[in-house]
Structure 1
Amino acid sequence: MLTRRALLAAAIEATTGSTLTDPLLRWLDLGQNGLAAVDPASRSGRINLGAVNAVERAIQHCVASDTAVGGGLSREAALGQLKWAVDLLDESSYDGETGNRMLAAIAKLSGEIGYMSHDAGMNGPAQRYFVYGLQAARESTDERAPLVVVAILGDMVRQLRTLGDLAGAERLIEVALAQLPNDQAFHSVRAMLWSVKGRVLAGMGASRSTEACAAIDLAFELSADATSVQPPEWLGSVFYYLGEPELRSHASDAYLDLAPHRPELAAKAEAQAVDALHGWDIAFVRERGYSLIDLTRARFAQGELEQACNDGRSAIEMTAQVPSSMRLRAYLSTLESESAPYRGEKAVDEFRDELRLALV
């Protein structure tokens, strides 16, 4: 199923609510069987750690491309890598350790294809790849596999939030937190999950605002604590976005959702967006685009019209550099509604004209 590209790229509808979460919860807690060693006499090829390392390096290259140009272009290369890795596992012999590490790498790659598909606006196929990645990770006994499960669940939460299924997103983020080993070495991951939870809670409105802000605060506390314990050296190959810029990006987005109910949070959103923008590495073009849009939204919310229009133009330019990210383009379109209250102001009207042209 992982390599049946025609089926997985077809017009599949994304599932939300308990139809999605209930089956996941049933089998995520099942025991890991793992891959048994395959006798070299039974197959012509042989997988060694060099082949596994090649797949892991390929994932990093695909992710780097995804952050630079968007998921629409990057997913095709990643699909080719996935087919190669799955065929190799199916046709080769291996010892148990190598086979299970390869399965964990395949799970990670499938999850990344899910995220790329989501970024390209293909939410049905995205969800299929997420689920297949979870299934592969759950079957692997490699030490990376439980963290791959957490990473994929975190990306599924982001997708459900975008689709408006906040209850399902909250349920899955709780599952992700429960799956994470209770070890301070993983506090950077725990911080990321709490920041994502803050975004989800903020989307639920005023009734969850206190919880949302507490979740964001806890995320920063956990991130500060994470520096005192060295994480496993392989953690960076499972999570590519850990660190302050991501936390600040989630925080600015959460505060913006809450600002209509608590106007004082618009200033906090602005500060977090500025710090996120300055913190992202230059290679993270898409993420810098999101931070620019957040900054523009925050400045419109505070009536800083000239600066909002300038930042909005920068956001338009940055979005144009990520041609195959449909999510970034959709987020840019929110600036139409953010700027609408100020129609009639010359600078805003000019910006809105530029925005409409960019979105054609």
Structure 2
Amino acid sequence: MALPWNAAGGLQAARRILDAEGMDRRLFLTVMGTAITEPAHGWLFAPPVDFVTRNSGSPLPATVVDHLDQIIDQLRRMDDQLGGGALLGLVRQHLAYVVGLIEHRRYTDSVGRRLHATVAELLRLVGWLSFDAGQHAPAQRFFVAALHAAHTAGDRALGANILGFASCQAKDLGHVRAAVSLAETALAGYPGGTPRVSAILHLRAAEAYANDQQTTGCRTAIDTAFDRLTDAVPEHGEPGWCYWINEAQAHAQAGYCYLKLHDWPRAQEHLHAALSLQDTAFSREAALRQTLLATAYARQDPPDLDRVTALGNTAINTLTGEVDSARCVGHMSRLATHLTPHRRTPAVREFLDRADALTASSSSRSV
């Protein structure tokens, strides 16, 4: 958590977390309080890395990095359909291979920076997969290592995106003030980004504000995100990793925010829009949106139990047979808690039994 902000420090961060992965992950401790935000502040003020070269070993052509990035693109899309628990081992292996290239091959400064950017995105992806699988302490370390690698690469957009994911995890862990700080640091560290990147960062901020009950800040961030999504794409394009942000995802995150603000009608409106616009390739997101929408119907007064159980059962079908996501199962468990007072209703009782079985199965896989 406290390594120098240079090429050696970034590589050491990646190697340390990879080597530690051979240990029992339950030996990791989740970082608490302000310690979560210290690496973010280090990234924000660290001076740029001057040179990223290696002068020994066999040369590494730039085309190899092209192929590596194509593989990462496919891994991201597999995650959309299968969930974090299904892919962790595969992506860790790919990360270890690329770190080995940095350590042992010869490359120019431009290729070196691209390699470190590739490692940063792989570290970010493993952090996200770990978070999605409920492995929070390792996920935090992967995000920190990813931030170091992004700094070495000189890629501020990528670093800001990593902080956005770290903010998302922090608010799920209940570290609301840290989530706000991480999201605001991401915006401060990469102001004026491309439309999609800016939309991602503002939606992360909106989620953090919603959990902190900052209604005005949340709504402003949501409006800014939707506005940016309508801006023209710049000639140089957008980063490949921001492919997932679109109108459907923006509605989904806005719906989540209004759920946290206890505005059930607005939450329902946005989540319905997300479900109607979504791409079938995003299986995990569909299950999450159905669960959140069911929660909005469960929390309204009176609850719409028919809609709740219909949406909830559809989400359980996906989370049982297709997607391995402890994060989504956690949302399902919270939905079940809201329905406990209505357990005498047969349809609710059947749904709760299915939700309990799903939670038990997910817990056994995460041990």
Q: State the TM-score, normalized to the length of structure 2.
A: 0.87
**Conserved 8 A contact 2:284-2:323:** no
Change in Cα spacing, 1:175 to 1:134, as seen in structure 2 (3 Å) is same
1:93 to 1:358, Cα distance in 2 relative to 1, 3 A: closer
Q: For residues 140-192 of structure 1, what are the alpha-carbon distances to aligned partners after superposition, in whole Å with 9 as ceiling and x for unaligned?
A: 23xxx111101111110111011100100100101100122425xx1222222
- How far is the alpha carbon of 1:359 from its aligned partner? 2.6
1:54-93 to 2 correspondence within 5 Å? 54-93=67-106
Distance 2:294 2:169 in 1: 23
Structure 1 Cα separation of the partners of residues 343 and 135 of structure 2: 34
> What is aligned with 2:255?
252
Output the aligned Cα RMSD. Answer: 1.9
Partner of 1:25: 41
Are 1:136 and 2:136 an aligned pair?
no
Asked if the contact 2:81/2:323 (under 8 Å) is kept, the reply is no
Deviation at 1:349, TM superposition (A): 2.7
Q: State the shift of 1:223 in Å.
A: 2.1
Asked if 2 retains the 8 angstrom alpha-carbon contact of 1:188 and 1:242, the reply is yes
Task: Give the match for residue 195 of structure 2.
Answer: 187
Provide the residue aligned with 2:331 in structure 1. Answer: 331
User: 68-77 vs 287-296, which deviates more?
Assistant: 68-77
Aligned counterpart in structure 1 of residue 170 of structure 2, from 146, 156, 160:
160
Write out per-residue CA displacement over residues 185-235 of structure 1, whole angstroms, 9 at most, x where no aligned residue.
x12222222222222122123xx22332232223222222x2x342633x3
Change (3 A) 1:47 1:34: farther
1:328 and 1:36 mapped to 2: Cα distance? 39
Instruction: Choose 166-175 or 330-339, whichever is displaced more.
Output: 330-339
**Structure 1 range deviating more: 325-334 or 208-217:** 208-217
Q: Is the 8 A contact 1:147 1:238 kept in 2?
A: no
Aligned to 2:204: 196
Alpha carbons of structure 1 residues 236 and 30: separation in structure 2 relative to 1, 3 Å: closer
Retained in 2: the 8 A contact 1:70–1:286?
A: yes
State the partner residue of 2:7.
none
Q: Once the 2 structures are TM-superposed, how far is the Cα of residue 129 of structure 1 from its aligned partner?
A: 1.0
Which secondary structure state, in structure 2, belongs to the residue aligned with residue 93 of structure 1? coil
Structure 2 residue aligned with 1:270: 268
> Could you say which residue in structure 2 is the equivalent of 1:108?
121
Q: Secondary structure of 1:238's match?
A: helix
Closer, same or farther: CA 256–36 of 1 in aligned 2, 3 Å: closer
Aligned-pair CA distance for 1:32: 1.4
The alpha carbon displacement at 1:63 in A equals 1.3
- Answer whether contact 1:106 1:133 (CA < 8 A) is retained: yes
Say yes or no: does 1:150 pair with 2:160: yes
- Secondary structure of 2:37's counterpart equals helix
Return the alpha-carbon distance in structure 2 between the equivalents of residues 152 and 322 of structure 1: 27
**What is the deviation of 1:102?**
1.2
Which residues in structure 2 correspond to 1:344-359 (within 5 Å)?
344-359=344-359
Match of 1:223 in 2: 229
Check the 8 A contact 1:192/1:246 in 2, yes or no. no
Structure 2 contact 121–158 (Cα < 8 Å) conserved: yes
Rounded Cα–Cα distance in structure 2 between residues aligned with 1:54 and 1:134: 23
Distance 1:341 1:212 in 2: 31
| Paired residue type of 1:269 | A
Instruction: Determine the structure 2 residue equivalent to 1:286.
Output: 284
1:212 and 2:218 correspond: yes
What does residue range 38-57 of structure 1 map to in structure 2 within 5 Å?
A: 38-39=54-55, 42-43=56-57, 45-57=58-70
Distance across 1 between alignment mates of 2:62 and 2:97: 15
**Correspondence for 1:242 among 245, 269, 283:** 245
Matching residue's letter, 1:336: A
Q: Equivalent residue of 1:31, what SS? A: coil
Cα shift at 1:108:
1.0
Percent identity of the aligned residues?
27
Structure 2 counterpart SS, 1:94: coil
Q: CA deviation at 1:16?
A: 2.6
Rounded Cα–Cα distance in structure 1 between residues aligned with 2:338 and 2:235? 41
Gaps of 5+ in 2: 1-11, 361-367
